[in-house]
Amino acid sequence: MSAHTVTAYSADIRACLAYAEAEFALQNIGDLTHLFIKSWLSGLMSDGMDARSVRRKISALKTYYRYLLRHQLVDYNPMLKVSSPKVSKKLPNFIEASKMEVILDIAEAKKNEKNDAIAQDIVLTLYHTGVRLSELINLEKRHISLSQSLLKVTGKRNKERLIPMTAELSTILQPYLELHPESPFVFNTSSGKKLYPNFVYRVVKDLLSAGSTQRKNSPHVLRHTFATHLLNNGGDLNAIKELLGHANLSATQVYTHNSVERLKTIHKQAHPKGRLK
Taking the C-alpha atoms of residue 108 and residue 124, their distance in angstroms, rounded to an integer, is 10
N- to C-terminal Cα separation, the chain: 49
Active site residue 246: yes
Of the residues 62, 143, 156, 205, which is catalytic?
A: 156
Cβ atoms within 10 A of the Cβ of 34, count? 15
Active site residue 89: no
Which helix (H) or strand (E) covers residue 151, if one does? strand 150-154
Strand partners, 185: 140
- Give yes or no for a contact between 136 and 102, defined as CB atoms under 8 angstroms apart: no
Taking the C-alpha atoms of residue 60 and residue 6, their distance in angstroms, rounded to an integer, is 9
DSSP-assigned letters across all residues of 64-103: HHHHHHHTTS-S--GGGG--PPP----PPP---HHHHHHH
Of the residues 180, 224, 229, 246, which is catalytic?
A: 246
Residue 48 buriedness (CB in 10 A; 0-12 / 13-18 / 19+): exposed
Of the residues 205, 220, 257, 262, which is catalytic?
A: 220
Strand partners, 145: 150
DSSP-assigned letters across all residues of 167-182: HHHHHHHGGGGTSSTT
Coil, helix or strand at residue 128: helix
Active site residue 223: yes
**Region of residue 176 (phi > 0: left; psi between -120 and 50: alpha; otherwise: beta):** alpha
Of the residues 132, 224, 229, 241, which is catalytic?
A: 132
Of the residues 57, 128, 180, 223, which is catalytic?
A: 223
Active site residue 255: yes
Q: Which positions are annotated as active-site residues?
A: 132, 156, 220, 223, 246, 255
